[in-house]
């Protein structure tokens, strides 16, 4: 079998995803007006949401973190978080757009994470886990740092499930011999559609009894 190449997206697309994560983090932190988070705190949470997923992916894989060794990630995350802080009212109106773009982003991070894991020789099931962790890591880091209940564990709108389903589809397609690129496209498509339908129709997992 040919070696599996990780799915990559152009740097500008990756940085756009990083910016979107930082923007969301800053908007999220901006809602805590009672807790006296200062400007630095907002920027740090933006960076955490934007880079947390990639960091977690590379820690799980034992690889040097791409977002540290690349020149642009931290810079783009910090600047976008500052922008988000300054233009909070503007961006708050764009909430539906942000949710839609975020759905694409978790799909992209899931595809990058799962395919990088496969390329390094990680077997199928843990590769799905790495993909899902890469997709949701930023949100977990945000909640732990802000001392909030981790949203992901509670009844919600199929955030992690959508990411895991997409990553699982990618792993199955690659195992069946499909090209990584199209498997990644399918992964992003499935994650995006599941997530958006879940938000639209308020789907959620059954609570434990």
Interface residues toward a second copy, by CB under 8 A: 29-30, 33, 35-42, 44-45, 47, 55, 58-65, 67-71, 73-75, 78, 85, 117, 121-126, 129-130, 140, 144-150, 152-156, 160-161, 204-208
Smallest distance, a second copy to C-beta of residue 20, A:
19
Asked if residue 88 lies in contact with residue 46, where contact means CB atoms within 8 angstroms, the answer is no
Smallest distance, a second copy to C-beta of residue 121, A:
7
Smallest distance, a second copy to C-beta of residue 79, A:
10
3-state secondary structure of 176: coil
For a second copy, give the closer residue by CB, 5 or 155: 155
Closest CA to 53 of 148, 156, 167: 167
Smallest distance, a second copy to C-beta of residue 1, A:
17
Q: Rounded CA gap, 35 and 71, in Å?
A: 33
Asked if residue 83 lies in contact with residue 23, where contact means CB atoms within 8 angstroms, the answer is yes
Q: Rounded CA gap, 171 and 123, in Å?
A: 9
């Amino acid at each position: 079998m040919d070696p599996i190449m990780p799915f990559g997206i152009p740097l500008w697309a990756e940085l756009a995803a990083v910016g979107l994560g930082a923007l969301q983090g800053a908007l999220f932190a901006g809602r805590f007006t009672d807790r006296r988070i200062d400007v630095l705190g907002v920027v740090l949470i933006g960076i955490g949401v934007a880079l947390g997923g990639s960091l977690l992916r590379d820690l799980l894989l034992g690889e040097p973190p791409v977002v540290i060794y690349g020149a642009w990630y931290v810079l783009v995350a910090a600047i976008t978080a500052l922008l988000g802080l300054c233009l909070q009212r503007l961006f708050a109106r764009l909430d539906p757009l942000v949710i839609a773009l975020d759905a694409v982003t978790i799909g992209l991070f899931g595809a990058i994470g799962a395919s990088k894991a496969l390329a390094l020789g990680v077997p199928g099931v843990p590769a799905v886990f790495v993909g899902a962790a890469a997709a949701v890591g930023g949100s977990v880091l945000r909640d732990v740092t802000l001392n909030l209940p981790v949203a992901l564990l509670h009844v919600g709108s199929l955030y992690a499930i959508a990411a895991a389903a997409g990553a699982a589809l990618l792993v199955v397609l690659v195992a069946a011999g499909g090209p990584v690129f199209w498997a990644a496209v399918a992964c992003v498509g499935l994650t995006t559609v599941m997530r958006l339908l879940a938000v639209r129709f308020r789907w959620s997992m059954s609570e434990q009894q």
